[in-house]
Amino acid sequence: MSQPTIPTQPQSIQRPAGGVEQAIAASRGEMKSLLCSLIAEKSLSGHEQGLVQLTRQWANEHCFTTDMWQTTDETAAAYPQGQARHISLANRPTLVLGLPCDRAAQPALIFNAHSDVVDAPAPERWKFKPWTATVSEDRIYGRGACDVKGPLVSALWAMQAVHQTIDGPAPAPVLLELVPGEEDAVGLGTLTSVLRGYQADASIVLEPTECLPRPASRGGLRFEIAVFGKAVHGTVKWLGEDAIAATRKVLDALEQMERDYGGISPDPLFSDYPIARPITVDFIHGGRWQGMVADECRCAGYFEILPGDGIDFCQNQFRNDLRRKLSANGVPINSVTVEFTETYRGHRTPLEAQICRLAEKAVAESPAHTQWSGWKAFNSGCEAGLRASLHDTPTLVWGPGSLAQAHAADEFVNFNDVERVAVMFARTIAEWLRLR
């Protein structure tokens, strides 16, 4: 791992009176402005560079260490996580920033955020412009506000507050890795940091979790299903084989499979969610010639699984169950292909892990403690699975905002929640350092 850099002309640190709570309150205006600037960066998958450079500039101005680099596709492809279909890593930097530390070689507490966002292809459906941050009452609107630029600001805010309230270097590394491509291929971005040599004693993955820490997350499989038929003119359609009509049967089969998988080995951390293993089709395309029966139709989507589910087993079960149901419904097996273009593992951290105990304490001491009703999982896939699966890293998923807003029109985050989570993060960091 290369040596991180520090600003060549570090600014003097203004140390506010009081603890991290006062430091956070004192910088509220600055951090709201930072969040608005980050939202204004149109950091679509493949175009993260501007956002990463803006974050690096902020980190250097606030006397954090920084390390920015690019990983090649060839380097990543040597590992299973790098073999998923993805946009090229060229011009997609990874940034690791951290508190100044005189024991930087030790494993660290690492916050993880992804720098990319999904597109907003129908801006006319937004009340507020997707690529301009809009502040309305205490909400900040814009693409990426909760997924994950609001959580990113919570972590930066907490690290700044801790930096301002400790004397000298931190006794152990506290880092934040800003990685590309989570919306493109889950795990690929974090792999770039792992290959750089960064290791973690514990990790907090920044995602919208309604302000509460989550010790588990889903794994997932990206599937692509192709149905092949026989094209004929629509006036003699009975002579052809309609791939679009057969795809309707595929959708019916997937809906039935989702119900079938609901009762298999349930996980109590996911028991609050009504669908145990969601199967979501997000793409359908069929037909090539006007007025003719379609000879090909494709659909794609995600099969989201529980952390204890085996990836290979789920692939085989999905494929076999789909073929069996289609065959029973009159669709020839040889007319359908199933391909998995991306897979990623979930994670499940033991609740007795130190990072869980510290997080629970931080929540109990926060105004958010009234929301606490016990541990439950993050109901999505994210970057948490990579370090957890490679290194058994105790990992939480945590941040302001809700999955109900992620990827939606008029995405927003409540800035009071961004601040509240920053306080909890700062308390967690401070206690982590104290125990070192």
Q: 240 with 231: CB under 8 angstroms?
A: yes
CA distance 108 to 189: 18
pLDDT for residue 7 is more than 70: no
Q: Which two tokens stand for residue 110?
A: 């690492």
CATH of domain 219-344: 3.30.70.360
Task: List pLDDT tens digits, range 125-167.
Answer: 999 999 999 999 999 999 999 999 999 999 999 999 999 999 8
* Rg, the chain, Cα only: 23
pLDDT score, position 369: 55
pLDDT score, position 19: 87
Give the contacts of 328 (CB within 8 A, at least 6 positions apart). Answer: none
pLDDT for residue 3 is more than 90: no
pLDDT score, position 263: 86
DSSP 345-401: --EE--TTSHHHHHHHHHHHTSGGGGG--S----SS--THHHHHHHH---EEEE-SS
CA distance 181 to 114: 7
pLDDT for residue 345 is more than 90: yes
pLDDT score, position 373: 84
Query: Phi and psi (nearest 5°) for 180?
Result: -85, 160
CA distance 190 to 184: 12
The chain-wide mean pLDDT, for the chain, equals 93
How would residue 9 be classed by pLDDT, with cut points 50, 70 and 90? very low
Task: List pLDDT tens digits, range 304-334.
Answer: 999 999 999 999 999 999 999 999 999 999 9
Residue 356, amino acid: C
pLDDT for residue 12 is more than 70: no
Average pLDDT over residues 259-278: 94
pLDDT score, position 370: 56
pLDDT for residue 1 is more than 70: no
pLDDT for residue 272 is more than 70: yes
Q: 78 with 96: CB under 8 angstroms?
A: no
Task: List pLDDT tens digits, range 77-118.
Answer: 999 889 999 999 999 999 999 999 987 677 799 999 999 999
Average pLDDT over residues 3-23: 55
The full length of the chain comes to 436
Domain ranges across the chain: 20-216+347-435, 219-344
DSSP 282-321: EEEEE--STTB--SEEEEEEEEEE-TTS-HHHHHHHHHHH
Query: Phi and psi (nearest 5°) for 389?
Result: -80, -35
In 180-332 the beta strands, taken as DSSP E runs, fall at 200-206, 216-217, 219-228, 279-286, 296-305
Q: 216 with 389: CB under 8 angstroms?
A: no
Average pLDDT over residues 374-379: 96
Residues 60, 65, 70, 71: what is their CA dihedral angle, to the nearest 10 degrees? -160
Class of domain 20-216+347-435: alpha beta
How would residue 2 be classed by pLDDT, with cut points 50, 70 and 90? very low
CA distance 375 to 377: 7
3-state secondary structure at position 195: helix
Residue 223, amino acid: F
Average pLDDT over residues 413-425: 97
**Element (H or E) spanning 420, and its range?**
helix 415-435
pLDDT for residue 17 is more than 70: no
% of the chain beyond a pLDDT of 70 = 94
pLDDT for residue 5 is more than 80: no
Nearest to 223 by CA among 89, 388, 336: 336
pLDDT score, position 27: 96
CA distance 91 to 111: 23
% of the chain beyond a pLDDT of 90 = 90
Task: List pLDDT tens digits, range 194-228.
Answer: 999 999 999 999 999 999 999 999 999 999 999 99
Q: Which two tokens stand for residue 67?
A: 């390390």
